[in-house]
Structures are given as structure tokens and as C-alpha cells.
A and B are shown apart, each in its own frame.
Chain A
Amino acid sequence: MASLRPGESSHDREYNEDQDAFLQRCEDAYGSTFNIILLNKTLTVVSGPQIREVFLNDDGFSSVEAFEELQNLIAFFNTMRKSNWDMDHKTVHALVKDQITPNLTLFTPRIVEQLEKNLEHELGNCPAEDGGKLIEDPLVPLHEMVASASTYS
């Protein structure tokens, strides 16, 4: 277990202050695999070549289960759907793989066309010579642009 700073019960603060410095300190002291306390949990940090072993070992490691422990989302998803109550969201993965990914070339031109329209609506013509247009929080108009697709057509 990586040592704690005096007076602290977890590494959250040290990690959030400077992620790189914290990881460097741990790596120098303990090598590439070590335990830390984050989010009220003891976690083992896995680096370099071992990353592949975690990602590619579906039977051994589950990101959904870990996520569930932190976020408790399965109940939430299951109240949205009436079938396919499956912890690993296999159907959702299959839907993306079978229905969306193969059709991206079909969807892209439509998305681009719509985005151009939405961009026109959100920004309009604002040449730099005239001072342009300041958007303080780009997330809001972008969200609108991405989600909507034909409201302004």
C-alpha cells in the first residue's frame, strides 16, 4: 500500500493535486503495481504490459461489476428496459456492433449535413473582423447540435 500523507486517510487529495507527481512517487517506491486508496476503496494500480491482461480477461475482470459498485446503475438501466436484463449489457453491445457500426458510412453524410445546419443556427455568420462571437460554455450549444438533428430543417 502506497504510504499516505500525514493526516490523510486516502490518496484522493494527493492524486487530485498532481496526478503525475503522485504516480511518479508511487512508481519510484513500489514499482509498476501497487495499492492505493481512492473513492473510499482500496484499488490496485495496474500498469504497462499487465493492462492487457485485465482488459482481455472477461471471465476474470469485469468493468461493469466495478462500475456497479461505484455507481449502482444496473437497477437504473433495468427500469428502462423490459427485456435483456443482463449485467454485462451484451445486447447493448450487440446493438452497437450489428446495427450502428456497420452503417456509419451511411449515417455520416446525414450527420454532417445536419451538423452544418445546426452550426449555422447556433453560430450564424460571425466573421473574425467583426470580433467574432464569444461562446462562454461551448458544451451547451454543442450538446444541442449533437442531440438535435432536424429541428431547424
Chain B
Amino acid sequence: MASVFVGQEIAKSRKVIDAFINATADFGKMLGSGKAPRASFWDSFLKRANFKVLNPLQIHIQTLVEASSPVILERRRQEAEAAENGIEYERPDDILQRLLDSFDKYGFIDLEDVCGHLLILVLASVHTTTDAATAMLYYMAAFPEYMETLHKEQQDVLDAIQQEREKKREELKRKGESISEELDPAHDRDLSPAAIKKMVHMDSFLRETFRFRTERLTHVHRARRTETLSNGVVIPKGHSVIINIKSAHQSPEQGDEVMEFRPWRFVGKSKAAIKAGADFLPFGIGR
């Protein structure tokens, strides 16, 4: 993640990697300190007071700022140099650069602010990715009988792509044209987005993992005004509702044996693991 977020150069720093990892852990300490305390009142109060003043993530922001400042200055210098020589500057492809380029659009104040926003994005992505990957490994370990199918599918898809590329190369050779870098044999078995898209069993496995493991009651919402649901139930302003995920994920619409883990449930059903909807709510309903 780090190289995508801040680029290779900054991500080389061990401090930055640790900041990415520890930020998630420090964020975890913060949870459970709201006004409806699950811990004791004082525990919750002190935590809240403490974190408002001494936000543990500040130190990670400082780390990011320190690591990125020299790199950003160097990038600026290169950009100015390129402009002077009339060459188009090749922008680094990372999220930090994108945020800096849209500095005014989002109304950022300074580099610390940008790094703060970056860290919020890190919080949102590192933990969720790790969590989903761990869950998938857990279900693979719990149901080893499905592993062979997954492995075979991956090999088949990669074999097919390799053959296709080989054909293209041969054709180019016959025509006497040079083989472009894109068709380099070294990349024949890359897990490209296109290849991953073809692995329908893996995608179904992932979707089933999410369907199966998502807590039955999640996604609390608070009424901002008094609302009446279509079944006539009135939710007064300030009252909270909680979503019954079971009614969607374990409904008969999901197919047979909804209480069981059936990893190939969605194979051939145009229901991708990233497609949220009323029948798939781990990330909300999506829009």
C-alpha cells in the first residue's frame, strides 16, 4: 500500500511503514470511547479528553511529513527543470502526488493537512484489506477441500493468458514486427486486473466469505429527523436503527442452504464480490 500512497521513494523508509501499521493499531485504541460508553464512564471520558488533545496519530503525521518533504522538494525541482527545458514532466503515480496536485480543489492548508488526510485514507484501507484477506485465508483453512478448485482456476486462467500472448508474439514475429514491452514473456503470468476478473470461483469465494461472516446486526444509523418507514414504523428524531443483515444475507434469495458456507454460490451469477446492493451489505448498500 505504502508505495501506492506515497511512492517508492518515501515508502522505503521503515519509519513510514511502521507509521502505516501503527496508525491502524492506535486508531483501534480509540474505538469504544463514545458517549454511550461500554467501558466505565471515567475510562471513556479520560480517553476522549486525552485523544482530543494528544492524538496518537499526530506522531505518524509528523513521520510522513518528515519523510515526504525532501522528496516533494526534489519532485518540484524536477518539475521546474522540466518546464525550463520544455519537456513534459512525468508525474509520479501515487496518491500523495494526486492530493498535492488537487491541493486547492480540496482546500488543503499545508503538507501536514495533506498527510493527515492521507493517513485517514490509510486507516480506511490497510485495516479493511488485511481483515478481508485474513478472513479469506481462514475460510480456506477451514474448508481445504475448496483449495484445489481455486488453485486450478488460477493456473488455468494464467495458462490461457500465456498462450494468448504467445500467439500474439508469434504473429508479430511472422510479420517481422518488433515485440513491444507489453508482451514481454516475463509478464506472461502476472496477476493483472484482467486475469483476476476471469477467476470467477475466487470472486465467488470472496463474496461468500463476506456474506457468511458479516455480523447479523450492523450499520447503526441515527435519525436526523422523524422518519416514517414504508411499513408504517415511525422512527423519532435522534433514535437509532440497526440493520438486520441476516434478513438480506441469509434470505432465501441467496440460494440453497443459506446458513451454510457454499463458496461457489455466486459462480455464473453476475454477482461480483465488489458489487454492493440490497442483497450484499458488508460495505453498506453502495452507490
Contacts and interface: CB of A to CB of B under 8 A. Distances in A.
A79 B12 contact: no
Interface size grouping (class) on chain B? 35 or more
Contacts, number: 268
A147 B107 contact: no
B252 to A, nearest CB: 12
B57 to A, nearest CB: 5
Given A61-B227, A63-B219, A100-B121, A72 B48 contact: yes
A91 B285 contact: no
B95 A109 contact: no
A39 B110 CA distance: 39
A48 B247 contact: yes
Contacts of B31: 71
A143 B20 CA distance: 10
A1 interface: no
Interface residues of A, number: 83
A23 B244 contact: yes
A5 interface: no
A107 B20 CA distance: 18
Main secondary structure of the interface of A (DSSP, over half): helix
B183 interface: no
Interface of B: 1-4, 8, 11-12, 14, 17, 20-21, 24, 30-38, 48, 51-52, 55, 57-58, 61, 93, 95, 98-99, 102, 106-110, 112-113, 116-117, 119-121, 124, 126, 129-130, 133-134, 137-138, 190-193, 196, 215-217, 219-225, 227, 229-231, 233, 235, 239-244, 246-248, 250-251, 259, 278, 281, 284-285, 287
The 5 closest A-B pairs by CB, nearest first: A47-B247, A149-B3, A66-B222, A47-B244, A55-B285
Interface of A: 15, 19-20, 23, 32-33, 36, 38-57, 59-63, 65-73, 75-77, 79-84, 89, 91-92, 94-96, 98-100, 103-114, 138-139, 142-144, 146-151, 153
